Amino acid sequence: MQSNAQAIFESWKNEPSLDAATRAELTAIENDPREIEERFYRELEFGTAGLRGIIGAGTNRMNAYVVRRATQGLCDYLATVPGAKERGVCVAYDSRLFSDEFAKQTACVLAGNGVKTYLFTSLHSVPQLSYAVRHLGCMAGIVITASHNPKQYNGYKVYWAYGGQAAPEQAAAIYEKIQNVKMFAASECDFEGAVHDERIVLVGKEEDEAYYAATAGLLLSPDLLRKYGGTLPIVYTPLHGSGAVPVKELLERVGLTSVTVVPEQAAPDGTFPTVTAPNPEDPTAFRLAIALAEKVRARVCLATDPDADRLGVAVKTANNEWVTLTGNQIGCILLEHILSTMSAQGKLPENGVVIKSIVSTRLADAICKAYGVELENVMTGFRFIGEKVDQYQTSGEKTFLFGFEESFGFLAGGLARDKDAVCAAMFAAEACIAYAQRGMTLSDALDEVYETYGFYQESVKSYTLEGKEGMERIADCMRALRANPPKAFAETPVAVLEDYLTSERKLIGGTVECLTLPASDTLRWLLTDDSWIVIRPSGTEPKLKLYIGARAKTREAVEEVLALLMADVDGRLTKLLSKPVQKNAELNR
């Protein structure tokens, strides 16, 4: 079926209200049918993570018109919620290109629709926005960010009153409203006039102070940090993002006075000139931090992404080699630190709960079991952790202690309802100080965890397929895997296959059970040797994601198992993604 991309392109180009820069951008591609198709064959999908796309003109791009239309749709949805306009919406933005402009335009549409609007006066992190939504009593929040994506991306994330991302039902309802809004028909107001009469309230300092005080109050050993905080050099890089102010400020407030910020990456810059992508999951993002650490004799480096919801950690080993920790390793170091400290202090609650995603390490299960703490698994996406935190804090049924995802998202205490790299940096620093008192680094701490609980290792691989054809190939791949699921990987039999799209759990022998977690286009295989495999499309990017986990008695053994599994699954996926699905029916047998 042929799209009507060309017709939509023409309607944009002929729009009288189009600004000169956008018109020039469209004129430059008017003889490029492929580019027109990519930009206009669809609209950016509004999901639970809101909008995310490449910056540029078009319905399948992030630009001022798409932002205004999305905001108008959100306003139309808020009009159906009693008291929503009066409670208002808080808007924040990170350092990405056009983030400040998109945030200002968002505020003008909100205020133009009679919605009380709070706008941060400078770039702020996701956790600060999440906290502010609840602190201000807002009905919703918006962050202009594309998280850790490359520089050509930006996005629009919607949060709800509980401080976490909008639920799927809400996102669907908002998207329906957005689709009923004509592209150039958003109602706006004059920014300066709206600020003057307080339809738009500029916020910053008071919200920052409240967040800092509440987060510092989560420390487990504040006296330890005050006494020894100046003795341990730490290098930190915000990777040109919004973490620069809150991370440095919070660490200094709790006593970490030997923190050195990478100067080349301290200032906000949406072009991210010193990195390929501002992603703390990427070891190359630590290049400048590690070089600085060698100069100041630090043995640990911390990094946050542009919206400061992800934390990365690099540590120096006993062999004086630098290694970047995985999200699973960071999560388990923090988990062990939190549970062991609370246990030693006699403060571990009987109803404590730790929450992680199904694609995160099973090492966390072993740690929680050792301390008698319940561990709960949720679907991929930190929203699910945030929802559980809110549920348990509201009901009092369980006491939330810690949550994490393998994708470098961590949350302690539950002040925010999303990943909080600012808080996580504080706990990582506290763990550094605590282990230093035992003559250990974080690298030593990780070794101790493995020696105590066994050797667990995980691997993640993404398959990026840009554009319309790429999305179709990813969908074809998932259909092929469901049509003919493998019965073994690397000669290790499958014990259980979980299909979260059909909510079925199929055991070896044919028994079928019902899964209770929310429906998701996700497949998980549990193997007979305790290894596991998860395959799912990304919810925010044109990627297919592969997760593999293994457990063994030695480091060498677990590495061997993981390598064999990766070679097997990678080979299958590479074939499936390179051919049309109807030609791939035999590949999984």
Q: How far is it, in rounded angstroms, from Cα 383 to Cα 357? A: 10
Cβ-contact 319, 256 below 8 angstroms = no
Q: Which of 158, 153, 3 is nearest to 464 (CA)?
A: 153
Question: Between the CA of residue 466 and those of 61, 96, 333, what are the distances in Å?
Answer: 13, 21, 36
Sort 206 into a burial class: Cβ within 10 Å, 0-12 / 13-18 / 19+: exposed
pLDDT of residue 1: 40
Res 271 pLDDT > 70? yes
Q: How far is it, in rounded angstroms, from Cα 236 to Cα 245? A: 11
pLDDT digits (tens, 9 = 90+) for 286-311: 999 999 999 999 999 999 999 999 99
Q: Supply the mean pLDDT for the chain.
A: 94
Record the tokens describing residue 516, joined without a space: 């209770």
Q: How many CB atoms lie within 10 A of CB 234?
A: 23
Strands 543-552 and 455-464 come out as: antiparallel
Question: Between the CA of residue 538 and those of 166, 499, 534, 580, what are the distances in Å?
Answer: 18, 16, 12, 20
Res 522 pLDDT > 90? yes
Q: What's the residue count for the chain?
A: 589
Predicted confidence band of residue 2 (pLDDT cuts 50, 70, 90)? low
Per DSSP, what are the bridge partners of residue 480?
none
Task: Please give the sequence-ordered ranges of beta strands (E in DSSP) within 99-139, or none if there are none.
Answer: 117-120
Q: Which of 220, 188, 39 is nearest to 117 (CA)?
A: 188
Strand order across the 89-93 sheet:
51-54, 153-160, 140-144, 89-93, 117-120, 200-203
Assign 3-state DSSP to the chain and report helix, strand, coil percentages, each to 5.
Answer: 40, 20, 35
Cβ-contact 410, 420 below 8 angstroms = yes
List phi, psi (to 5°) of 175: -60, -35
pLDDT digits (tens, 9 = 90+) for 340-394: 999 999 999 999 999 999 999 999 999 999 999 999 999 998 999 999 999 999 9
Portion of the chain with pLDDT greater than 70, in percent: 97
pLDDT digits (tens, 9 = 90+) for 173-218: 999 999 999 999 999 999 999 999 999 999 999 999 999 999 999 9
Active site amino acids: 147
Predicted confidence band of residue 584 (pLDDT cuts 50, 70, 90)? very low
Cβ-contact 99, 129 below 8 angstroms = no
Q: How far is it, in rounded angstroms, from Cα 62 to Cα 303? A: 26
Strands 374-378 and 532-537 come out as: unpaired
Mean local confidence (pLDDT), 222-239? 96
The larger pLDDT score, comparing residue 318 to residue 426, is at 426
pLDDT digits (tens, 9 = 90+) for 32-53: 999 999 999 999 988 777 999 9
pLDDT digits (tens, 9 = 90+) for 393-414: 999 999 999 999 999 999 999 9
Q: How far is it, in rounded angstroms, from Cα 22 to Cα 28? A: 10
Sort 199 into a burial class: Cβ within 10 Å, 0-12 / 13-18 / 19+: buried
Q: How far is it, in rounded angstroms, from Cα 438 to Cα 372? A: 24
Record the tokens describing residue 204, joined without a space: 């910053």
> Chain-centre distance of CA 56, in angstroms?
23
pLDDT of residue 555: 93
Q: Which of 517, 494, 489, 485 is nearest to 504 (CA)?
A: 517
Give the residue ranges of DSSP H helices in 137-221. Answer: 168-179, 191-196, 205-216
Task: Please give the sequence-ordered ranges of beta strands (E in DSSP) within 298-373, or none if there are none.
Answer: 300-304, 311-316, 322-324, 352-357
Res 581 pLDDT > 50? no
Q: How many CB atoms lie within 10 A of CB 340?
A: 17
Res 589 pLDDT > 60? no
Whole-model pTM?
Answer: 0.92
